[in-house]
Each structure stands twice: as structure tokens, then as C-alpha cells.
Amino acid sequence: MSVRILALVGSLRAGSTNRQLAETAVKIAPEGVEITIYEGLAEIPFYNEDIDVEGSVPAAGAKLRAAAGEADALLLFSPEYNGTMPGVLKNAIDWLSRPYGAGAMSGKPVAVIGTAFGQYGGLWAHDDARKSVGIAGGTVVEDIKLSIPGSLTRFAEQHPSDDAEVTEQLTHALARLTKEAAAAKA
């Protein structure tokens, strides 16, 4: 059974270590698992019920919903901005939460991981994202926790894929999310 995981990266920065972490996930995905990094979060307008009208949903919002709808699970990579998740990631969660009770992530396994410069690796942002995802209808896989501290120094001279500790932890997170996605499909 194949499993499709949609990765959403909460940093839009070209040199984002969270983007690099997502690329590492794609590279080390278990056999039978396809991870797609979603492109286009920057183009999605801020969520507004006035523009979320059947038949005239903005193309960027509809594209995100379609991608999430085709996925078996979602994997969110979040840095921490001012103690919480970036606005672009929160906006994606808001778009995926609608229509209420039947959003594109409704009932799907979702994990939140990432790296940040601070000593806790984005823990607060990850906790906030998990809370939002759960309220939005996603099934948060609570035991997947990977918050890598010191991103700017740790990955200054090496890509996350070259860090054995990171790849081992990421491998475990992917195996766990894959197990949840397979169970939800069954």
C-alpha cells in the first residue's frame, strides 16, 4: 500500500533550514511513501469567508485544498516566529479547515516538526500548530515530536541530511506518520 504525505513548510526563506529538513524527508522517505513539498503557500490570500464562496474560491486556496485532499497525511515543518508558528502556516491551516467539519485535512493524520534558532527548536510554534490542526479537524499524531534547536549554527555548514542524529529522528517520525496514514486508509 502506498502512502502520500503532503509537506507544508512554514518558512518562505530561500535558505530555510525547515525547507532543507523537508527535502531530507523526501530523500529518506520509506519505500512506498511519496512525500510532496507543497509549493505556493506564499500565493494563498489571507483566509476570509467573504472570498471562500463555492464556485469562486481563489485558485491558490483551491489548489492547496486539492493537494491536501489527495494526500493520506500531512507533515508540517515549522520554524518559530516570535514564540509561535509563522502566519503562512496558520493561513494554510485556516484554508484547510473549511468547509467547517469537512475540510481537506479533516480526519487525516498530521504531524508537526521543525527546527528553529532558539534553544527549544520551535517547541512553542509546534505546540500551537498542533492545537490549530486539531481544532481544524486534523488528527494530530501527538507522539511525533521533533524540535531541533540551534538551526542557524547547527546547519550553518551542513545540510540536515548530513546530520546522522537528525536523519535518525526524522526516519522514526516518518515511520510513525506512515503507520498512522496506512491505518487511516485501511
User: Across residues 41-60, what is the average pLDDT?
Assistant: 96
Give dist(CA 122, CA 150) in Å, integer. Answer: 10
pLDDT of 1 > 70? The answer is no
pLDDT: is 186 or 6 the higher one?
A: 6
- Alpha carbon distance 52, 100 (integer Å): 12
Residue pLDDT, tens place only, 62-87: 999 999 999 999 999 999 999 999 99
How confident is residue 89, by pLDDT bands cut at 50, 70 and 90? very high
Model pLDDT, residue 101? 87
- pLDDT given for residue 96 in this prediction: 98
pLDDT for 186 beyond 90: no
Ranges of H-type helices in the chain: 17-28, 59-70, 87-96, 123-135, 151-154, 164-185
Cβ(16)–Cβ(74) below 8 Å: no
Give the Cα separation of 81 and 88 in Å (integer). Answer: 11
Average pLDDT of the chain is 96
> Tens of pLDDT along 112-143?
999 999 999 999 999 999 999 999 999 999 99
**More confidently predicted of 186 and 91:** 91
Domain range summary for the chain, segments of one domain joined by +: 3-185
CATH number of the domain located at residue range(s) 3-185 in this protein = 3.40.50.360
